[in-house]
């Protein structure tokens, strides 16, 4: 078995039973311990966490991890394993070569573990690559984090999302295929509610694809099976439709309003604001965009960060998802970008950690993730830098 070591960007093989001294630990359940701790595990799960006194040392057989802090593993709440973050259209052409995509995905999955990311939620692809990755990891054929997958998304035929799902011309066609759609397997239902935002025109968003009535039917079809619903939505109209239909999470949510945040808080709807697809275009500039588009991106980013801060102050549930696979949003590394964007939005560092661990576990519908306690599998933890919570360390680095 193994434990992820984000501090060294590696995966450490460990026996099923053992012990180690760590510099301290943090979890939502146990809080923060900033002194040396003797960690013991048995059958691959934590059996005890015992703080050591100043003069006390562990047994000779104890592994020395005293440069590391023990944390639950990070979780990325929105990725696309079948995309490579380099060239969207070339990547779609490469989908005709499944072996190439599978090779890429295996590399991405290992990279996630090396950076302490033990679970990801994939937003789907028409060809089913992400679902295969989930199956291969679950069966132990591929090494990687736990994959929560929507398999493919539900979108309107002829509208945005053709690479995400087959497309349905209307709600009646969906209802005629509903049983088969769910029978193919999925962990969550993803519905494409709107198109993309435009970089050349501020506040311009692709068309809203569903009415409140139709989206409500989609949501109820999933909830009736105990399946959460994530909604790709931006713009005032599309976000309002998603809220009214009582989706479980809103993905992206560019141009969110205060009134919408209030309704989301009332309904317990989580927001995964995916800053990196916008922010990283400015953080890692290229010659791909015009000066006008760059100025539009700056306006979008400024408004988005302000709304994230507002959402935090209003106690709206906020998840941390990157949209990894999008241009300039590389798999694994971009989670650190996203957490830094959250900090730049004004959210305290420790709260960002809680969101990327505990809140994301709730959004994934997997509360066993995001924990560090007796009984937690070692494979769901990470060994992070010992100064991960230092006040002077303002940002996450890799």
**Per residue in 117-170, pLDDT tens?**
999 999 999 999 999 999 999 999 999 999 999 999 999 999 999 999 999 999
pLDDT at residue 57 greater than cutoff 60: no
pLDDT value for 389: 75
Mean pLDDT of all residues in 48-60: 68
pLDDT value for 52: 87
List C-alpha distances in Å: 228 to 222, 255, 273, 350, 374.
Answer: 7, 24, 18, 27, 28
Separation CA 212–CA 185 (nearest Å) = 26
Comparing CA positions, the residue from 279, 330, 376, 339 lying closest to residue 75 is: 339
Q: How many helices (H) and strands (E) does the chain have?
A: 12, 15
Separation CA 389–CA 130 (nearest Å) = 33
List C-alpha distances in Å: 28 to 1, 68, 252, 358, 370.
Answer: 25, 18, 26, 7, 8
User: Could you tell me the domains of the chain?
Assistant: 2-73+371-385 (2.30.40), 74-363 (3.20.20.140)
pLDDT at residue 55 greater than cutoff 50: no
Largest CA distance in the chain: 71
pLDDT at residue 58 greater than cutoff 80: no
pLDDT at residue 180 greater than cutoff 70: yes
State the CB neighbour count (10 A cutoff) for residue 133: 24
What does the mean pLDDT of the chain come to? 95
pLDDT value for 393: 54
pLDDT value for 165: 97
pLDDT value for 29: 87
Please give the model's pTM, rounded to 2 decimal places.
Answer: 0.96
pLDDT at residue 56 greater than cutoff 60: no
pLDDT value for 376: 96
Higher pLDDT, 258 or 63: 258
pLDDT band at 20 (very low <50, low <70, confident <90, very high): very high
pLDDT at residue 397 greater than cutoff 80: no
Mean pLDDT of all residues in 190-201: 97
Separation CA 89–CA 97 (nearest Å) = 14
């Amino acid at each position: 078995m193994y434990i992820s070591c984000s501090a060294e960007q590696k995966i450490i093989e460990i026996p099923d039973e053992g012990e180690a001294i760590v510099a301290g630990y943090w979890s939502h359940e146990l809080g923060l311990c900033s002194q040396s701790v003797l960690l013991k595990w048995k059958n691959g799960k934590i059996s005890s966490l015992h703080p050591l006194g100043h003069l006390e040392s562990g047994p000779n057989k104890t592994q020395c991890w005293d440069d590391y802090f023990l944390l639950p593993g990070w979780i990325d709440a929105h990725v696309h394993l079948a995309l490579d973050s380099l060239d969207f259209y070339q990547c779609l052409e490469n989908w005709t070569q499944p072996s190439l995509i599978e090779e890429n995905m295996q590399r991405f999955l290992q990279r996630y573990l090396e950076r302490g990311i033990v679970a990801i939620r994939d937003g789907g692809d028409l060809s089913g690559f992400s679902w295969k990755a989930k199956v291969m990891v679950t069966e132990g054929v591929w090494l990687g984090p736990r994959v929560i997958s929507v398999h493919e998304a539900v979108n309107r035929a002829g509208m945005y999302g053709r690479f995400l799902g087959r497309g349905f011309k209307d709600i009646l066609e969906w209802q005629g295929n509903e049983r088969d759609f769910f029978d193919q397997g999925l962990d969550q239902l993803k519905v494409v509610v709107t198109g993309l935002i435009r970089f050349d025109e501020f506040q311009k968003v692709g068309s809203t694809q569903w009415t409140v009535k139709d989206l409500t039917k989609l949501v109820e079809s999933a909830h009736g099976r105990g399946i959460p619903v994530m909604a790709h939505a931006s713009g005032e109209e599309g976000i309002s439709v998603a809220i009214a239909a009582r989706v479980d999470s809103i993905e992206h949510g560019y141009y969110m309003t205060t009134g919408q945040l209030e309704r989301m808080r009332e309904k317990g709807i989580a927001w995964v604001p995916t800053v990196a697809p916008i922010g990283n275009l400015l953080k890692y500039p290229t010659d791909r965009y015009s000066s006008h588009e760059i100025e539009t991106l700056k306006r979008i980013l400024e408004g988005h960060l302000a709304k994230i801060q507002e959402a935090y102050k209003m106690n709206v549930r906020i998840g941390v998802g990157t949209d990894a696979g999008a241009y300039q949003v590389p798999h694994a590394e971009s989670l650190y970008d996203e957490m830094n964007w959250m900090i730049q939005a004004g959210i305290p560092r420790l709260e960002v950690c809680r969101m990327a661990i505990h809140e994301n576990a709730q959004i994934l519908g997997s509360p066993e993730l995001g924990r560090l306690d007796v009984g937690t599998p070692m494979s769901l933890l990470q060994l992070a830098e010992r100064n991960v919570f230092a006040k002077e360390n303002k940002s996450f680095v890799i």
